[in-house]
């Protein structure tokens, strides 16, 4: 059952965001906004901003973004409904519930979750009691899983049969497919997705069953089957952002500030059995930035309990980048090479706990592996020094690089200057790092959006969609232009792409510039220059370059006028229809 949309709106209206946020964050007023230290990441200078008038917050440090309900959800680890109920209680509003009036998306979601939940119960029961699951039960016992563990994680058994689940639950083809439980085979028959596998149900952060990870049992099923198989992507199961075990681990992650990231289901369960209840697992995929942002809401230190080098060279660079942009600390658990946390939990839980406890920063862990065992001959030392210099070179911070270079040089008995020199050479050979987030956040397009959000009257006549080059800012502006209020624009953007909605909230809290005309002129100049380059290109390729001369000349004069305060407004007015025309021709 859902809360009436009307009541959600009443709760929102009765819960001023600056008041609710102010109860846990010290806010200082700054013009139209209030700023404070972000509750979602550790920082010393405030980058968390609230716009009370538009009822949104945004953090420039970690990109956390939302409204009063999101804030309560994410600071208190609640689901949407629980957060609304909490705020309603605060405001003295009694809520009405009505299933029929919940939105289509929410209805669909709950239908899929119900189906996956029913499947989880069915598979679990099958494992516990069915004769055909005896072999699977034996296998789990051999891995050290007792009945309590099996019940706690609701582990199940998918029989070695075609369609027992979809028939047993009487799932229609549409629902079975949408929930990732069934598929229609080449003979047009509905069959189960999972066969002859031990199943680990996967729950989202709030504990709803959304999908499965299935493992083959040695000796059962067809040979050459992949060891693990996961649910196909559905409206509720997306492995690029889901983390197995987050529903159980989030409490301990919040209280310890640390999460342990594993590669698989059995690793997460093994960690918990070894007393580490803050472990989560990626579901059959490499760790993505979305996994990281999902985790960073609960804890800022992430211990990787898998081979961080296995994803190759570029992987480390990406991890360093994430450390900076999301202000998280990444460490690597010192697991023995080739070891499996799931197995270690049974064979040597003490060693597993020690490995997590002694996790080292990413670069330190990689160097350790390189230098252990220590190279014996001078030639091996020279090779190790070169390899270490290359690893050190990847780190973006020069103080960190110098410090590690000193440590490695001392261990290898070489001159630290020599090592640093090598590392500098290696750095020069690398492509430059992407622009810092600080600069992106003040881009002219964002400032123009800020004006469109905060002082729409100042830009209503001059700002046009065509002036935004980047798809996300363009979509954000289009949402604003097509709706009457900021709230409606947010709803439209949210439906299209949550990133666009984030951008709108960011625009609501960024300091809008005083000179609206100037910002629009900067955007127009960028768009005009792009068009000029395009025209000049066309002219070069054309058999009749003179044909373009008049247009190129006209455009150059408008670009000059953009630089003069007296003429810039008129120039924008002339450029916009020209650019629209161009865009149409280019299509
Ligand atoms: Zn933040």
Instruction: Please tell me the distance between residue 60's alpha carbon and the centre of ligand 1 in angstroms.
Output: 6
Q: Which residues contact 181 (CB under 8 A, 6 or more apart)?
A: 115, 116, 119, 165, 166, 171, 192, 193, 231
Instruction: Please tell me the distance between residue 544's alpha carbon and the centre of ligand 1 in angstroms.
Output: 56
- Checking if the pLDDT of 437 tops 80, the result is no
In this prediction, residues 324-353 reach a mean pLDDT of: 86
DSSP class per residue in 484-534: SSHHHHHHHHHHH-HHHHHHHHHHHHS---S-HHHHHHHHHHHHHHHHHHH
Instruction: Please tell me the distance between residue 172's alpha carbon and the centre of ligand 1 in angstroms.
Output: 44
Q: Report residues near ion ligand 1: CB below 5 Å.
A: 38, 40-41, 59, 61-62, 64
- Checking if the pLDDT of 421 tops 60, the result is yes
Instruction: Please tell me the distance between residue 503's alpha carbon and the centre of ligand 1 in angstroms.
Output: 15
Residue of 279 and 487 predicted with greater confidence: 279
Question: What pLDDT, in 10s, does the model give residues 248-300?
Answer: 998 888 888 899 999 889 999 999 999 999 999 998 777 888 888 888 878 88
Most trustworthy range by pLDDT among 121-125, 307-311, 459-463: 121-125
In this prediction, residues 10-35 reach a mean pLDDT of: 88
The region of weakest confidence among 196-200, 412-416, 441-445, 506-510 is 441-445
- Checking if the pLDDT of 103 tops 70, the result is no
What per-residue confidence (pLDDT) applies to 452? 93
What per-residue confidence (pLDDT) applies to 430? 61
Residue among 243, 291, 278 at smallest CA distance from 264: 243
Sign of the alpha-carbon torsion through 420, 421, 422, 425: positive
What per-residue confidence (pLDDT) applies to 113? 93
According to DSSP, residue 3 is labeled B
What per-residue confidence (pLDDT) applies to 215? 93
In this prediction, residues 421-425 reach a mean pLDDT of: 83
The region of weakest confidence among 146-160, 306-320, 530-544 is 306-320
Instruction: Please tell me the distance between residue 299's alpha carbon and the centre of ligand 1 in angstroms.
Output: 12
Task: Indicate the Cα dihedral angle 23, 28, 34, 38, nearest 10°.
Answer: -60
The region of weakest confidence among 70-84, 87-101, 233-247, 570-584 is 87-101
Residue bearing tokens 């697992």: 281
Token pair belonging to 564: 């003069």
Instruction: Please tell me the distance between residue 327's alpha carbon and the centre of ligand 1 in angstroms.
Output: 8
What per-residue confidence (pLDDT) applies to 102? 53
Instruction: Please tell me the distance between residue 63's alpha carbon and the centre of ligand 1 in angstroms.
Output: 6
The region of weakest confidence among 66-80, 268-282, 418-432, 549-563 is 418-432
- Checking if the pLDDT of 199 tops 70, the result is yes
Instruction: Please tell me the distance between residue 527's alpha carbon and the centre of ligand 1 in angstroms.
Output: 32
What per-residue confidence (pLDDT) applies to 48? 93
- Checking if the pLDDT of 334 tops 50, the result is yes
Residue of 198 and 101 predicted with greater confidence: 198
In this prediction, residues 163-171 reach a mean pLDDT of: 94
Instruction: Please tell me the distance between residue 71's alpha carbon and the centre of ligand 1 in angstroms.
Output: 12
- Checking if the pLDDT of 458 tops 70, the result is yes
Mean of the per-residue pLDDT values of the chain: 87
- Checking if the pLDDT of 435 tops 50, the result is no
The region of weakest confidence among 151-160, 198-207, 314-323 is 314-323
């Amino acid at each position: 059952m859902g809360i009436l949309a009307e009541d959600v709106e009443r709760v929102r209206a009765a819960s001023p965001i600056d008041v609710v946020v102010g109860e846990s964050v010290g806010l200082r007023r700054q013009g139209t906004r209030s700023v404070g230290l972000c509750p979602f990441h550790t920082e010393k200078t405030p980058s968390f901003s609230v716009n009370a008038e538009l009822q949104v917050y945004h953090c420039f440090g970690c990109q956390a973004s939302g409204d009063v309900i999101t804030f309560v959800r994410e600071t208190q680890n609640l689901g949407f409904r629980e957060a609304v109920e909490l705020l309603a209680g605060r405001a003295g509003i009694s809520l009405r519930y009505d299933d029929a009036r919940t939105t289509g998306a929410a209805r669909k979601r709950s239908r899929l979750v119900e189906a996956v939940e029913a499947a989880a119960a069915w598979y679990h029961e099958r494992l516990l009691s069915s004769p055909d699951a005896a072999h699977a039960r034996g296998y789990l016992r051999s891995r050290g899983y007792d009945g309590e563990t099996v019940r706690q994680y609701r582990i199940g058994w998918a029989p070695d049969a075609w369609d027992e689940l979809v028939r047993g639950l009487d799932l229609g083809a549409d629902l079975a497919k949408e929930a990732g439980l069934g598929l229609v085979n080449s003979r047009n028959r509905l069959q189960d997705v999972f066969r002859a596998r031990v199943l680990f149900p996967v729950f989202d952060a709030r504990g709803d069953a959304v999908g499965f990870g299935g493992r083959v049992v040695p000796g059962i099923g067809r040979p050459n089957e992949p060891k693990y198989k996961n649910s196909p992507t559905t409206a509720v199961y997306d492995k690029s952002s889901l983390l197995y075990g987050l529903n159980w681990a989030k409490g301990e992650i919040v209280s310890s500030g640390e999460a342990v990231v594993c590669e698989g289901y059995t690793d997460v369960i093994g960690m918990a059995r070894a007393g580490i209840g803050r472990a989560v697992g990626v579901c059959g995929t490499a760790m993505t930035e979305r996994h990281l942002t999902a985790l960073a809401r609960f804890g800022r230190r992430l211990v990787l309990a898998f081979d961080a080098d296995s994803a190759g060279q570029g992987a480390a660079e990406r991890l360093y980048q994430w450390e900076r942009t999301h202000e998280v600390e990444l460490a690597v658990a010192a697991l023995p090479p080739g070891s499996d946390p799931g197995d270690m939990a049974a064979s040597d839980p003490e060693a597993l706990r020690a490995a997590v406890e002694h996790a080292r920063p990413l670069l330190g862990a990689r160097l350790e592996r390189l230098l252990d065992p220590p190279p014996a001959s001078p030639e091996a030392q020279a090779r190790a020094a070169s390899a270490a210099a290359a690893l050190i070179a990847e780190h973006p911070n020069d103080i960190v690089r110098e410090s590690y270079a000193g440590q490695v040089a001392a261990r290898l008995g070489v001159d630290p200057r020599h090592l640093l020199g090598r590392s500098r050479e290696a750095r020069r050979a690398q492509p430059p790092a992407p622009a810092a987030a600080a600069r992106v956040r003040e881009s002219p397009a964002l400032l123009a959006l800020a004006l469109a959000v905060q002082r729409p009257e100042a830009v209503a006549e001059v700002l046009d969609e065509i002036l935004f080059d980047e798809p996300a800012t363009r979509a954000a502006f289009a949402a604003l232009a097509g709706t009457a209020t900021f709230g409606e624009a947010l709803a439209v953007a949210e439906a299209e792409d949550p990133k666009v909605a984030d951008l709108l909230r960011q625009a609501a809290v960024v300091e809008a510039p005083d000179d609206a005309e100037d910002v629009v002129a900067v955007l127009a100049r960028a768009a005009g220059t792009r068009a000029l380059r395009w025209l000049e290109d066309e002219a070069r390729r054309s058999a009749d370059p003179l044909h373009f001369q008049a247009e190129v000349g006209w455009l150059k004069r408008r670009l000059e006028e953009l630089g003069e305060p007296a003429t810039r407004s008129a120039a924008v007015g002339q450029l916009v229809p020209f650019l629209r025309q161009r865009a149409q021709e280019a299509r």
